[in-house]
Amino acid sequence: MPIATPKQYAAMLDAAQKGDYAYPAINVTSIITINAALKAFSDKKSDGIIQVSTGGGEFASGINVKDRVLGAIVLAEAAHRLAERHNVMVALHTDHCQPDKIDSFLKPLIAATAARRKEGKGNLFQSHMLDASELPLDKNMALSRDLLKLCADNEIILEVEAGVVGGEEDGHDTSGVAKEKLYTTPEDMLAVYESLKGLGRYMFAATFGNVHGSYKPGAVKLRPDILKKGQEAVMARHGASAEFDLVFHGGSGTPVEEIRETLAYGVVKMNIDTDTQYAFTRPIAEHMFKKYDGVLKIDGEVGNKKDYDPRTYLKLAEAGCAKRLGEACDDLLSSGKTLFGKI
Distance CA 127, CA 106 (A): 10
Alpha-carbon gap, residue 234 to 150, rounded angstroms: 25
Question: What sign has the CA pseudo-torsion 245, 40, 291, 305?
Answer: negative
Bridge partners, 24 (sequence order): 270
Q: Which of 184, 188, 164 is nearest to 174 (CA)?
A: 164
Instruction: Decide: 132 and 15 in contact? Cβ < 8 Å.
Output: no
Q: Rounded CA gap, 141 and 162, in Å?
A: 9
Find the catalytic residue in 20, 43, 47, 95.
Answer: 95
Is the distance from CB of 19 to CB of 260 less than 8 angstroms? Answer: no
Contact by Cβ (8 Å): 256, 332:
no
| φ and ψ at residue 119, rounded to 5 degrees | -90, 0
CA angle 151, 154, 74 (to 5 degrees): 90
- Do residues 156 and 203 touch, judged by C-beta distance below 8 A? no
How far, in Å, are 80, 178, 202, 210 from residue 266 at the CA level? 28, 26, 13, 16
Q: Does residue 67 carry a catalytic annotation?
A: no
As a whole number of angstroms, the distance between CA 312 and CA 179 comes to: 45
Question: Which residues form the catalytic set?
Answer: 95
